[in-house]
Structure 1
């Protein structure tokens, strides 16, 4: 497909979720070939692949547990074999474990960090040698505005997302000389179907959220996807080490 990402190859993790799906579709529409990484959602991955292909794009679904270093290595190798060298990593996969601080055990803590921080480190470590070899690459991590705003019952998640911002800044310093940029996109309250499973009163939740924001509408996955797509293009070649909040003005400054 003609577009600013023609000839580029991207790996999107968590690709079957609300954010991941929108990101994958946008990058494919911009011309990138997309590897759709997911954990165990074969049907959704197949449907997303078909949708991208029907619209003229290139996509392949790949399943792996990103907490397993060997499985992650195999995933990256498969993506390379099927699409070519990965030069855009969108590290999006994560979980949202809610648990009061008083009930957070070392096991819960470790699980939160393994999914929401360590897997991002493993992916970047796996893919940056190939990016360095060609002198070009994009690492785009998906954080959360909660790393700044905070919220109860999410200590593991918020700690991991804060760490992810730090990892991204460190990668920007380490990899900038090799032509690789690293940035974090931090969504605010984005309306996705999964929200219905964790919110008792969606309307009350909407009212509370809009009171926090400058922009008086809920965020959409497409808002995040547009930011990711921009950071993947050559227009963002001089932007690195940044956290871009896509939150409707929830957190200012």
Structure 2
């Protein structure tokens, strides 16, 4: 069940905490991966790990998502390497937190460019070969705060909410071609960044979560693997919230 054997996938932000968990989950189910990110050394090390564990000769493609030219080259490079693209996972993202009245134009622009505009460009580019194949899965990683809002993150929440809206629109455009477009919205996930928090800060976060703990990266990876699978062929235009009950959104 949920086998991805014979499928190819591009994952952005693949060397980060959640991104590497997503890539690992897809590789475990048999997909061949193009791992994208800005840190070439980390990507190479992770690719070698996946190759050793799962085979399939995964590849890495370094890309700065703030660079429009590099973004536009990412899907063609993946297709040139694998001959096709079955799955696109828009995972990469940055934060530039600040209160609205103090937020600089560049803090807004950087987050929108990387978190939203780059995803749009990749979705647009991936749609072409997927339409030709009459099959595809486009999955974007949003956030619980894209639905609830969060003080100090007007730029980030705008980008994440924008991803949800874009995905719903594209889902309607591509459904007749056998392509699904969905989102996964993580809550608080245990990563290197959250591990740097103090015990008191972690306790305060966990108190807001009915399950009493942060999520694990592999729990996000499992959600993505499901949406990427043939079993999810009738699921499109949806957001799968994985947040331990922190926000129960219908």
TM-score by length of 2: 0.95
2:228 is the alignment partner of 1:232: yes
Q: Distance in 1 between matches of 2:45 and 2:2?
A: 23
2:209 is the alignment partner of 1:213: yes
Q: Distance in 1 between matches of 2:202 and 2:167?
A: 31
Residue pair 1:29, 1:57 contacting (<8 A) in 2 also: no
Equivalent of residue 51 in structure 1, options 46, 49, 52? 49
Q: Deviations over 1:115-166 (max 9, x none)?
A: 1111110000111100000100000000000112222111100111011110
Match for residue 7 of structure 2? 8
Q: Which runs of 5+ in 2 are unaligned?
A: none
How many angstroms does 1:196 deviate by? 4.6
Q: Distance in 2 between matches of 1:3 and 1:52?
A: 19
Matched pairs, number: 248
Q: Distance in 1 between matches of 2:81 and 2:181?
A: 25
Q: Distance in 2 between matches of 1:3 and 1:216?
A: 29
Q: Distance in 2 between matches of 1:163 and 1:183?
A: 13
Match for residue 80 of structure 1? 79
Match for residue 194 of structure 1? 193
How many angstroms does 1:178 deviate by? 1.1
Q: Distance in 2 between matches of 1:66 and 1:182?
A: 21
Specify the SS of the correspondent of 2:54.
coil
Specify the SS of the correspondent of 2:223.
helix
How many angstroms does 1:68 deviate by? 2.4
Q: Distance in 1 between matches of 2:55 and 2:201?
A: 37
Q: Distance in 2 between matches of 1:89 and 1:125?
A: 11
Q: CA RMSD of the aligned region, Å?
A: 1.5
> CA separation of 1:234/1:104 partners in 2, compared to 1, >3 Å: closer, same or farther?
same
Q: Which runs of 5+ in 1 are unaligned?
A: none
How many angstroms does 1:3 deviate by? 7.0
Residue pair 2:2, 2:231 contacting (<8 A) in 1 also: no
Residue pair 2:2, 2:225 contacting (<8 A) in 1 also: no
Match for residue 42 of structure 1? 40
2:146 is the alignment partner of 1:150: no
Match for residue 137 of structure 1? 136
TM-score by length of 1: 0.94
Match for residue 112 of structure 1? 111
How many angstroms does 1:247 deviate by? 0.4
